[in-house]
């Protein structure tokens, strides 16, 4: 549980925000987009470039023949309020078919009202659905020292949102990692490179059904493996 608390504290690292310019066009630009919109866990903080769970997701999708492009718009330290502020531009820029929403831990860490986080997440889901995106909500849990009332309300928030707004839910991204020291970086805070496949394994069963019918599968085998496009961030530190 100490590791879990330390990990949550790491999510309060200085925030890095996306630049205002769109990413350069590439060969995958015409494919439907999966937009991953999260914090340091999805940004791959402290993990070698190309080895975060979102990078592994992009390779898995290509390897299995799904015709999707993965864009990682995650930033370290993000709150639901910050995410709500920048989401409209991200939706307009990338027009995602699927939004993977992984936010809320920093709200909990700072003891912000659960009602506020719930409202912000609900607004982000509504905005995404209004843009035609299917949403996968990824939940986070608070350690017990935040108090039974707060931790219970925080945990229940994700399930309530998923049910009320008819979206898929991953209850806890770090379920297979949080209490295992061998899967945490030397700083004792972040999941290490070995942990990234487990994060993907936690997400994949809920994401795969959102990829759609066989019409979305490429007709040929041996699809080219592509890395996720990253939204450029100014001054991002590892």
| Residue positions annotated with a catalytic role | 40, 187, 190
Q: Helices then strands (H, E): number in the chain?
A: 8, 6
> Which residue, among 187, 188, 170, has the nearest Cα to 1 in the 3D structure?
188
Name every residue whose Cβ is closer than 8 Å to that of residue 213 and which is 6 or more positions away in sequence.
Answer: none
Q: Decide if 94 contacts 114 (C-beta within 8 A).
A: no
Residue 116 tokens read as 């506020």
> Which residue, among 123, 161, 126, 154, has the nearest Cα to 140 in the 3D structure?
154
Question: To which H or E segment does residue 102 belong?
Answer: strand 98-102
> Which residue, among 94, 102, 124, 101, has the nearest Cα to 33 in the 3D structure?
94
Report the alpha-carbon distance of residue 23 to residue 90 in Å, rounded. 11
């Amino acid at each position: 549980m100490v590791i879990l608390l330390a990990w949550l504290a790491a999510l309060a690292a200085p925030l890095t925000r996306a630049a205002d310019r769109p990413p350069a066009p590439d060969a995958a630009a015409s494919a439907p987009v999966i937009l991953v919109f999260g914090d340091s866990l999805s940004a791959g903080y402290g993990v070698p470039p190309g080895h975060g769970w979102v990078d592994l997701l992009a390779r898995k999708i290509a390897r299995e023949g799904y015709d999707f492009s993965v864009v990682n718009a995650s930033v370290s330290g993000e709150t639901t309020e910050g995410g709500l502020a920048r989401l409209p531009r991200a939706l307009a820029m990338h027009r995602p078919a699927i939004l993977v929403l992984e936010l809320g831990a920093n709200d909990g860490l700072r003891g912000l009202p659960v009602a506020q986080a719930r409202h912000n997440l609900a607004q982000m889901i509504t905005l995404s659905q209004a843009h035609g995106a299917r949403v996968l909500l990824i939940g986070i849990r608070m350690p017990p020292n935040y108090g039974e009332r707060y931790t219970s309300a925080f945990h229940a928030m994700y399930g309530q949102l998923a049910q009320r707004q008819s979206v898929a839910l991953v209850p806890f991204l770090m379920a297979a990692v949080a209490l295992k020291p061998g899967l945490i970086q030397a700083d004792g805070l972040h999941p290490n490179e070995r942990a990234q496949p487990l994060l993907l394994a936690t997400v994949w069963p809920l994401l795969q059904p959102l990829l759609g019918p066989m019409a979305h599968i490429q007709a040929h085998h041996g699809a080219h493996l592509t890395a996720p496009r990253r939204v450029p961030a100014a001054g991002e530190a590892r």
